[in-house]
């Protein structure tokens, strides 16, 4: 009976949504239904916000059902932006209609800014002040971020994508990612700086490690709450094992959030035995000896997912679990191999390094003596290096490891890990002259943020006037770079029909293969002859090519993430074209068609005749191949 009433009413709703003045009979049929049925209909998911607005204007009863803080508008908000619901408490009073309006406005502003970035910053890296429009936006930051995430994750219908992106999907996603990366990193860095202001006895090692994880992975959904929940589940497994060892163990009575410590060594030992069984035998956690120099080993969310890490990350996990179960382990900044120490001496007694057992979480929780610790690293060390360290020192070591890995980067020409780790280290120690100089040199090498380079160099000169040689060199060349940018006039347009370009065979957007090295790539620019300097030509042995440097050269984005400058004679069409997984694809192209990339508006301005040649090439190469297969 109720189902029939709902079906009948559902037929009336579309009419109410479409007609400004519905017929009295239809309206009467609808409003005479029980309130629960009406609310069910209005929350069914087939009505838009505009529909609800029109329905609520028809009569008092429907207006009351569609009140701004009621279930109907809450459902509209939830269906449209489900990821935002976690920010609201079920007990809070919320004006859902107003929230809907504010979120809608934030989305429009976000799209407007993203759309402007390609035109404003196509020819350069987004400058430091390029994000000022975003920082000055009104309304909750989470709404703006949510719209950027929606752009990045937009994989819906072709119709919706065409409405939202207007044929610029890859370019929109490229700049949405850059903006979201910047916003989240700024917020995380501010949180980290506030965290570092805590007194020395504030020992939330896990919280600090999560900030580092978040900063290096700002586009991932990483939270202390989620990581703590995963650790809590491991603690539950340890408790289950501990119950089998000692059913009356005091740790089993601990409640979540308690920080009581057990003083009896035998009871502590039972906890550690249970931990070792669960972590290393049951869950198969282990030190990553095979891929030690991988940044993932330092990110706590990855340590939990992959169940592997390096000494410091494994130690932080082990330390966190032990403390939750009442074992007061402490971190030891031991050289080359981070350790934990476990006190064996009496409380209040004067202790030395021999009153502790040292735990190697990387080595399956093995318990070591002082002599075994030295054997582990192959050298004798002073007693000071067996001492406990505070949170800041632990984080310094984690970031120092990332910094070392960032310096080892080869393929990633953006040096993102190095840039992120420098930011983190300088947030903790802002007056480290050598790291400031490295940061200035890195930005100079990448050709980005010249104004920021000058600020860093000025700070270095204030801290250490003895650096005037290196500082003076960089200042001079940075100022020259700024002047050259000012002298650039207009956009260089390259026409395929121009006589001097008659030897150019390939066009932007084509998927190519390198004949010698075998890599796949996409062309995003070309020159009629090699435009690099004599030193580059000599180093790359260009003269050994049959046509030398007097042939067209192509700027290509390579599938390994690098950007290269390839001679025409070394390239050939890729008979099996595929998307090129390169972070800068969206900077130059708006769409991948399956055979080639479509240049975005800014790239097309610079190569206005190339698209016609691309269509002709695709028709000749790939259509002919399809016909041969069909035959």
**CA nearest 421: which of 217, 236, 263, 603?**
217
Residue 542 has pLDDT above 70, yes or no: yes
Which segment of 74-78, 135-139, 492-496 scores lowest on mean pLDDT? 135-139
Q: What pLDDT does 38 receive?
A: 84
Token readout for 349 is 């007694």
Mean pLDDT of the chain: 87
Closest to 408 (Cα-Cα) out of 295, 268, 534: 295
Query: How much is the average pLDDT of 191-214?
Result: 89
Q: Which of 411, 462, 417, 412 is nearest to 436 (CA)?
A: 462
Name which of 433-437, 443-447, 502-506 the model is least confident about.
443-447
Q: How confident is the model at residue 252 (pLDDT cuts 50, 70, 90)?
A: very high
Half-sphere exposure of 496 (CA within 13 A, CB side): 16
pLDDT of res. 435 = 95
**Position 448 confidence tier, pLDDT thresholds 50, 70, 90:** confident
The predicted model gives 261-282 an average pLDDT of: 96
**Residue 16 clears pLDDT 60, i.e. is over it:** no
Residue 65 has pLDDT above 90, yes or no: no
Question: Alpha carbon of 512 to those of 96, 507, 521, 541, 613: distances in Å?
Answer: 52, 10, 5, 22, 15
555-to-508, 552, 560, 567 alpha-carbon distances in Å: 9, 10, 15, 9
Task: Check residues 449 and 130 and name the one with the higher pLDDT.
Answer: 449
DSSP 39-108: HHHHTSS---HHHHHHHHTS-HHHHHHT-TTSHHHHHHHHHH-GGGGGGS-TTS---HHHHHHHHHHHHH
CA dist 308 and 290 (Å) reads: 10
Question: Is residue 168 very low, low, confident or very high in pLDDT (cuts 50, 70, 90)?
Answer: confident
Give the pLDDT band of residue 195 (cuts 50, 70, 90).
Answer: very high
Query: In the numeric block, which tokens belong to residue 274?
Result: 């249970």
Can you read off the two tokens belonging to residue 306? 């992959």
Contact 242, 251 (CB under 8 A): yes
165 pLDDT exceeds 60? no
Out of 153-162, 212-221, 296-305, 555-564, least confident range = 153-162
Instruction: Tell me what pLDDT residue 411 has.
Output: 52
Residues 6+ apart with CB under 8 A from 183: 131, 134, 141, 144, 145, 148
Split at pLDDT 50, 70, 90, the class of 124 is: confident
**Confidence band, pLDDT 50/70/90 cuts, at residue 474:** very high
pLDDT band at 18 (very low <50, low <70, confident <90, very high): very low
Query: Where are the strands (E) in 484-620, listed by range?
Result: 511-514, 520-527, 553-558, 563-567, 571-573, 589-592, 597-599
Go through 6-27 and write b for each residue having 16 or more CB atoms within 10 A of its CB, e for each that does not.
Answer: eeebeebbeebbeeeebeeebb
At 451-469, the pLDDT tens digits run 899 999 999 999 999 998 8
Q: Which residue has the higher pLDDT, 219 or 123?
A: 219
Count CB atoms within 10 A of the CB of residue 444. 19
- Is there a contact between 295 and 312 (Cβ–Cβ < 8 Å)? no
Identify whether the C-beta of residue 424 lies closer than 8 Å to the C-beta of residue 399.
yes
- C-alpha to C-alpha distance for 148 and 611, rounded to whole angstroms: 30
pTM: 0.86
Better pLDDT: 155 or 238 = 238
568, 553 Cβ separation under 8 angstroms:
yes
Whole-angstrom CA distances from 289 to 191, 284, 361, 363 are 33, 14, 13, 10
Residue 257 pLDDT grade (very low, low, confident, very high; cuts 50, 70, 90):
low
In whole angstroms, give the CA distance from residue 445 to residue 589. 25
Residue 213's contacts (CB-CB under 8 Å, 6 or more residues apart) are 222, 298, 299, 300, 301, 302
Residue 520 pairs in a beta bridge with 513
Give the Cα separation of 516 and 613 in Å (integer). 25
CA distance 20 to 54: 8
Specify the pLDDT at position 157: 41
Q: Which residue has the higher pLDDT, 134 or 70?
A: 70
pLDDT for 99 beyond 60: yes
What's the residue count for the chain? 631
From the centroid of its chain, how far is CA 88?
Answer: 24
CB 583 within 8 A of CB 414: yes
- Mean pLDDT throughout 291-314? 96
Q: Please tell me the predicted confidence (pLDDT) of residue 10.
A: 44
Q: What are phi and psi of 521, to 5 degrees?
A: -160, 170
Strand bridging mode 597-599 / 356-360: unpaired
Between 46 and 307, the more confident residue is 307
Structure-model confidence comparison of residues 312 and 562, the more confident one? 312
Q: Is the pLDDT of residue 1 over 90?
A: no
Is the pLDDT confidence value at 263 over 70? Answer: yes
Residue 47: pLDDT band (50, 70, 90) is confident
Q: What is the pLDDT of residue 585?
A: 95
Give the pLDDT confidence score for residue 158 in this predicted structure. Answer: 42
The predicted structure's pLDDT at residue 5: 44
Confidence of residue 371 (pLDDT cuts 50, 70, 90): very high
Query: What is the number of other CB atoms lying within 10 angstroms of the CB of residue 448?
Result: 17
Q: 120-134, 297-311, 587-601: which range is least confident on average?
A: 120-134
What per-residue confidence (pLDDT) applies to 71? 92
């Amino acid at each position: 009976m109720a189902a029939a009433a709902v079906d009948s009413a559902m037929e009336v709703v579309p009419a109410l949504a479409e007609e400004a003045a519905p017929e009295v009979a239809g309206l009467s049929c609808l409003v005479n239904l029980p309130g629960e049925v009406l609310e069910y209909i209005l929350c069914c998911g087939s009505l838009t916000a505009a529909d609800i607005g029109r329905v609520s204007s028809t009569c008092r009863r429907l207006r009351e059902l569609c009140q701004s803080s009621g279930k109907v508008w809450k459902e509209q908000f939830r269906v449209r932006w489900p990821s935002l619901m976690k920010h609201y408490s079920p007990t809070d009073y919320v004006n859902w209609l107003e929230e809907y309006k504010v979120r809608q406005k934030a989305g429009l502003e976000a799209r407007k800014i993203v759309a402007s970035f390609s035109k404003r910053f196509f020819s350069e890296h987004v400058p430091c002040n390029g994000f000022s429009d975003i920082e000055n936006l009104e309304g909750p930051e989470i709404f703006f971020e949510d719209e950027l995430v929606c752009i990045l994750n937009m994989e819906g219908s072709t119709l919706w994508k065409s409405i939202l992106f207007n044929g610029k999907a890859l370019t929109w996603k490229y700049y949405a990612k850059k903006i979201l990366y910047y916003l989240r990193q700024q917020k995380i860095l501010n949180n980290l700086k506030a965290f570092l202001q805590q007194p020395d006895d504030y020992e939330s090692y896990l919280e600090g490690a999560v900030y580092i994880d978040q900063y290096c992975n700002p586009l991932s959904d990483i939270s202390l709450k989620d990581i703590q929940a995963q650790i809590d589940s491991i603690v539950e497994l340890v408790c289950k094992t501990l119950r089998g060892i000692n059913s009356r163990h005091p740790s089993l009575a601990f409640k979540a959030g308690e920080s009581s410590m057990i003083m009896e060594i035998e009871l502590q030992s039972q906890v550690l035995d249970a931990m070792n069984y669960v972590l290393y035998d049951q869950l198969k956690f282990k030190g990553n000896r095979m891929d030690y120099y991988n940044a993932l080993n330092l990110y706590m969310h990855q340590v939990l997912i992959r169940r592997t890490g390096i000494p410091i990350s494994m130690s932080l996990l082990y330390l966190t679990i032990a403390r939750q179960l009442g074992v007061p382990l402490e971190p030891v900044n031991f050289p080359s191999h981070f350790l934990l120490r476990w006190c064996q001496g009496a409380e209040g007694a004067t202790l030395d390094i021999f009153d502790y057992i040292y735990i190697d979480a990387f080595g399956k929780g093995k318990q070591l003596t002082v002599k075994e610790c030295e054997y582990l690293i192959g050298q004798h060390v002073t007693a000071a290096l067996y001492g406990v360290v505070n949170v800041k020192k632990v984080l310094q070591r984690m970031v120092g490891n990332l910094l070392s890995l960032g310096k080892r980067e080869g393929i990633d020409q953006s040096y993102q890990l190095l840039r992120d780790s420098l930011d983190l280290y300088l947030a903790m120690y802002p007056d480290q002259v050598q790291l400031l100089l490295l940061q200035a040199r890195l930005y100079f090498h990448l050709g980005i943020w010249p104004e920021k380079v000058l600020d860093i160099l000025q700070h270095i000169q204030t801290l250490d006037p003895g650096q005037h040689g290196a500082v003076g060199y960089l200042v001079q060349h940075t100022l020259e770079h700024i002047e050259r940018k000012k002298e650039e006039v207009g956009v260089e347009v390259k026409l395929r029909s121009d006589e001097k370009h008659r030897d150019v065979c390939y066009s932007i957007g084509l998927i190519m293969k390198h004949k010698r090295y075998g890599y796949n790539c996409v062309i995003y620019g070309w020159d009629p002859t090699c435009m690099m300097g004599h030193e580059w030509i000599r180093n790359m042995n260009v003269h050994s090519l049959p046509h030398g440097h007097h042939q067209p050269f192509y700027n290509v984005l390579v599938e390994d993430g690098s950007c290269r400058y390839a001679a025409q004679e070394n390239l050939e069409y890729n008979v099996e074209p595929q998307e090129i997984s390169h972070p800068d694809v969206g900077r130059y192209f708006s769409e991948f068609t399956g055979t080639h990339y479509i240049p975005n508006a800014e790239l097309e301005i610079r190569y206005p005749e190339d698209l016609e040649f691309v269509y002709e090439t695709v028709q000749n190469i790939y259509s002919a191949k399809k016909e041969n297969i069909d035959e």
